[in-house]
Structure 1
Amino acid sequence: MKMNKTWMITATCVVVTSLMTGSAFAKSDNGNNADKADSSKPAVELNVKVNGGADSTVTTDTYGNEGKNGYKGLLKALENVKDKPAGAVIADLLLTNYGAHISDELKAELDAIKDRDAALSAVADVLDEQGSVTDAVYVQKEAVKANLKNLNSYKKLGKLYEKLGKKGVLLYVNGEEPTLEVNPFIKDGSTLVPFRAISESLKAEVTWNAEERSVTVTRGGITVKLFIDSTKATVDGKEVTLEVPAAIVEGNTVVPVRFISEALKATVKWEEETKSVVIYED
């Protein structure tokens, strides 16, 4: 469904301000003042179109200095946009900054509304349409981190990278893009990735045995051992056969990504259109 331009602008105003300045509202150590806005921070402006009528504006300056009217103002704005991307952002602000004033029933409703990755992706769409592809990439990266399991977010990020001229297999581990000395590649239908980059991103310990030409990774009581140029490997001492052998490319050991990820109890997904390898821990 195509999103109304007003809602897209609303999402842009709220999310970009949140990303650059952190929370739009200050948290006070004193519970009685927890809902007061911090006047030293820029006001967040929400442009809300009510029932197709004229735009009305809600800002932290309007509500922030009137006690609980700060969060009441956000609730009022939320009523008009709760099924739009901006509603997800407002719900997140309410839960983060005004949790002490919200009933359990309302918290459950806000949790249902909050869908941060969709809201951030909507902002990335706006920036992309405006020609700010680099900024769109930055925001879309935040969308990826907001929901590690959403392959569509990785797909959108990959398409933005294509616009910037970035090509080849993309690799993400827990929403981050590890630094690689050699790029991932596909061989005989299997994707091979730098072994050390994957292991260290998953906080595993890696050791190299020059005499055996083997590499061993240990994580959470699991030990995986691979032999260079061999389809032989072991997981906790049990021998397994790889579809493609581990190899050394430009001085780096590369291994089949699905094998090493699943052996270390991580989930691995493949996004075909942008050739993205997605690894995350449940």
Structure 2
Amino acid sequence: MIELRQQLKHATEITEELKAKYEALTEQLEKQTELSQALEVQKELLGRFYKPGDTELYEKLGELYEKAGDESLKTYVNGAEVAMDVAPFIEKGRALVPVRAISASLKADVKWDGENRTVEVVRGETKITLYLDSNEADVNGTKVKLETAPVLKNGRVFLPLRFIGEQLNAKVGYQEEGDLIIIEDGQPDGTTGTEAGQPDGTAGTEAGQQDGTTSTEAGQQDGTASGDAAGEQQAALPASNETVTP
């Protein structure tokens, strides 16, 4: 199986035959309860054969996550998993993800202003400004109401992903099996997702970093929660001298 895996990884021509071999290998590993390896093969399969609107590969991936007992919230954009240093979470029917997930998943420039407690998200000609203590955002100079305000948790900033995704013309959905946030972005080659400040993404003068989370709604494919998504509670803002990490 190791030899077959290497053959699949190095295959340059993407064909239905290659896809069938990937599927057969995943099934074989699953039967042998090698679930971690089965997940890796399925992720590779998804990344190589992803097509917008194709849910079949995600459904199989979710099934494997369930069998492996992985209950964490995962984010995928255009078939690729988004690595996060802070795990996203669901609170009262809404999924919240850190700021850096915005830059990584939507290839947007994200800047945290610690003094004014605002987060600025820019991609192409779209500029979104969100305020930690407000359910109102600014999109290209126009005030827009938010269903979910940015949230602070353990010194990290979390942003409403579904709102930001829609403003950047990306589709954000949720698959309950496997706890997958699924993003389809038609503009994956937009502005770079580095954060303002130093090269490693740490702002040079801010009192923290920009780890905003996004709040996709759990439940239905369009991000709407299957249960009651109302009554979300904004986390308390840090003291003026408290470090905020993006």
Question: Within the alignment, does 1:212 sit opposite 2:129 as a pair?
Answer: no
Residue aligning to 2:163: 259
Are the equivalent residues in 1 in contact too, given 2:50–2:78 (CA < 8 A)?
no
Are the equivalent residues in 2 in contact too, given 1:265–1:281 (CA < 8 A)?
yes
Q: CA deviation at 1:191?
A: 1.9
Map 1:173-192 → 2, pairs under 5 A: 173-192=77-96
2:97 counterpart SS class: strand
Residue aligning to 2:40: 138
Are the equivalent residues in 1 in contact too, given 2:8–2:22 (CA < 8 A)?
no
**Larger RCO: 1 or 2 (CA < 8 Å, sep 6+):** 2
Q: CA deviation at 1:221?
A: 1.6
Are the equivalent residues in 1 in contact too, given 2:8–2:18 (CA < 8 A)?
no
Q: CA deviation at 1:153?
A: 1.7
Moved segments of 4+, more than 4 Å: 12-15, 115-119
Normalised TM-score (structure 1) = 0.58
CA spacing shift, 1:263–1:121, aligned 2, 3 Å: farther
Residue aligning to 1:163: 67
Are the equivalent residues in 1 in contact too, given 2:43–2:61 (CA < 8 A)?
yes
CA spacing shift, 1:272–1:116, aligned 2, 3 Å: farther
Are the equivalent residues in 1 in contact too, given 2:74–2:88 (CA < 8 A)?
yes
Map 1:10-29 → 2, pairs under 5 A: 16-20=5-9, 22-23=10-11
Question: Within the alignment, does 1:245 sit opposite 2:149 as a pair?
Answer: yes
Pairs aligned (count)? 184
Deviations 1:64-86 (A, max 9, x none): xxxxxxxxxxxxxxxxxxxxxxx
Q: Greater shift after overlay, 118-127 or 134-143?
A: 118-127
Q: CA deviation at 1:117?
A: 4.9
2:169 counterpart SS class: coil
Q: CA deviation at 1:17?
A: 4.3
Residue aligning to 1:30: none
Question: Within the alignment, does 1:202 sit opposite 2:191 as a pair?
Answer: no
Residue aligning to 1:62: none
2:83 counterpart SS class: coil
Distance 1:259 1:180 in 2: 19
Q: CA deviation at 1:137?
A: 0.9
Percent identical residues: 38
CA spacing shift, 1:199–1:151, aligned 2, 3 Å: same
Q: CA deviation at 1:155?
A: 2.6
Aligned to 2:134, which of 213, 226, 230? 230
CA spacing shift, 1:258–1:119, aligned 2, 3 Å: farther
1:216 counterpart SS class: strand
CA spacing shift, 1:155–1:252, aligned 2, 3 Å: farther
Distance 1:163 1:274 in 2: 9
Q: Once superposed, what is the RMSD of the aligned Cα atoms?
A: 2.5
Deviations 1:30-69 (A, max 9, x none): xxxxxxxxxxxxxxxxxxxxxxxxxxxxxxxxxxxxxxxx
Q: Which has the higher helix share?
A: 1
Map 1:63-74 → 2, pairs under 5 A: none
Structure number with larger C-alpha Rg: 1
Distance 2:84 2:107 in 1: 16
Distance 2:72 2:23 in 1: 23
Normalised TM-score (structure 2) = 0.66
Residue aligning to 1:270: 174
Are the equivalent residues in 1 in contact too, given 2:112–2:118 (CA < 8 A)?
yes
1:124 counterpart SS class: helix
